[in-house]
Amino acid sequence: MSALLEVQDLRVTFGGTAAVRGASMAVAKGETHCLVGESGCGKSVTSLAIMGLLARGGKREASALRFAGQEIGGFNEREMSRLRGDRMAMIFQEPMTSLNPAYTVGSQMTEVLRRHRGATRAQAVDRAAELLGRVGITAPGLRLGQFPHQLSGGLRQRVMIAMALMCDPELLIADEPTTALDVTVQAQILRLLAGLQRDLGLGILLITHDLGVVARIADRVSVMYAGEVVESAPTAELFGNPRHPYTRGLLACVPVPGKVKRGDRLGSIPGVVPRIPPGFAGCAFRDRCNHAHAACTGPIPRKQAGPGHEVLCTLDLAA
């Protein structure tokens, strides 16, 4: 199966700081690929780098960045802008501020279709209303005429999702789309994404730090740490047979009903994600790892730990 999105050895630097250090991943058509890791590990930067939306001062390099078989790493802003919103779309973590306060929902949704497909106003309005209905918004006609400040956070995020779907994209990158929302709304949004994927067959790259979300909707999971993908596997394999000490640490932090009893201590990983200086060698996790040894300061091998299961570690931790 040829991948919809293929990223090889992606590197992003801001000034002297390396935010992403050689991350590779692939998203197939119709697949949900989750990118997990704690705050500051480079998940959001990775997603923005793929979309070509890095903030000023961010530099991107990759040995390959292919979308639908086409190398897009060398695309300029104009070429990227033709892809963005049309064939690859993105939704963000901050529904409260991601919509322009000066324009109505309708105006902001329709401009995507008019820009990429040259649709008429009426066509675009129909499409926007249809999508608002699809993401579970009642009275789409009313909402189209409203301004963002008149909508709740959950509604705004639905609008963002509907807006991202205006041109029937092949790839949807969702950067923590549910983090800012309360739990009931979170569940609705996730169900919505899963349903849309089933119906439309779109590839989703979902950035999250919520392993509960991952378990529910991911086909494949990549665990990021300090700008590297340290482990990548199909979801069941990763949860059942985690090989990297960091992955194990993350999983131990999640209370599982039945497994973790009342009064048991939840796991935690001491310390925070370090800032990686240029020219750093070895495993970035070694200072927080219980299994660290001398080899961890040298080059770290990328190993196959099963079918489609890769791990970046010197150890051979058995299940």
Partner 1 sequence: MVRFLLRRFTVAILVALTVLTLSFLLTRLSGDLAISIAGPNATQQDVELIRQAYGLNRPLAQQYLDWLLRAVQGDFGESFFFKDRVANLIAHRLPITLTLGLVGLALALVVALPLGIIAAVREGSYVDRGVMLVALIGQAMPSFWLGLILMVVLGLNLGWLPISGTGGWEYYVMPGIVLSFSAIPSLMRLTRSGMIEALSSDYIRTARAKGLSRLSILVKHGFRNAAIPVVSIAAVQLGFMLGGSIVIETVFAMHGVGYLAWESISKNDFPVVQAVILVLALIYIALTLLADLLNAVLDPRLRTS
Going 176 to 178 to 181 to 182, the CA torsion angle's sign is negative
Identify the three-state secondary structure at position 253.
coil
What's at 69, amino acid-wise? Answer: G
Nearer to partner 1 (CB atom), residue 54 or residue 254 = 54
| Residues 168, 166: Cα–Cα separation, whole Å | 6
Nearer to partner 1 (CB atom), residue 101 or residue 277 = 101
Helix H or strand E segment including 10? strand 3-14
Minimum CB–partner distance for residue 108 and partner 1 (Å): 8
Q: Which tokens sit at 240?
A: 């059942």
Minimum CB–partner distance for residue 296 and partner 1 (Å): 37
Minimum CB–partner distance for residue 273 and partner 1 (Å): 23
> What proportions of the chain, in percent to the nearest 5, are helix, strand and coil?
35, 25, 40
Minimum CB–partner distance for residue 25 and partner 1 (Å): 19
Minimum CB–partner distance for residue 99 and partner 1 (Å): 6
Burial class (CB in 10 A: 0-12, 13-18, 19+), 164: buried
Q: Which tokens sit at 248?
A: 């194990």
Nearer to partner 1 (CB atom), residue 63 or residue 100 = 100
Minimum CB–partner distance for residue 43 and partner 1 (Å): 16
Helix H or strand E segment including 203? strand 203-207
Nearer to partner 1 (CB atom), residue 48 or residue 305 = 48
Q: Kindly list the residues in this chain that would bind partner 1 in the complex (CB under 8 A).
A: 51, 53, 55, 77-78, 80-86, 89-90, 92, 94, 97-104, 111-112, 115-116, 147, 149-150, 160, 163-164
Nearer to partner 1 (CB atom), residue 92 or residue 285 = 92
Q: Which tokens sit at 158?
A: 């639905």
Nearer to partner 1 (CB atom), residue 87 or residue 216 = 87
What's at 120, amino acid-wise? Answer: T
What's the angle, vertex CA 7, arms to CA 237 and CA 309, rounded to 5? 15
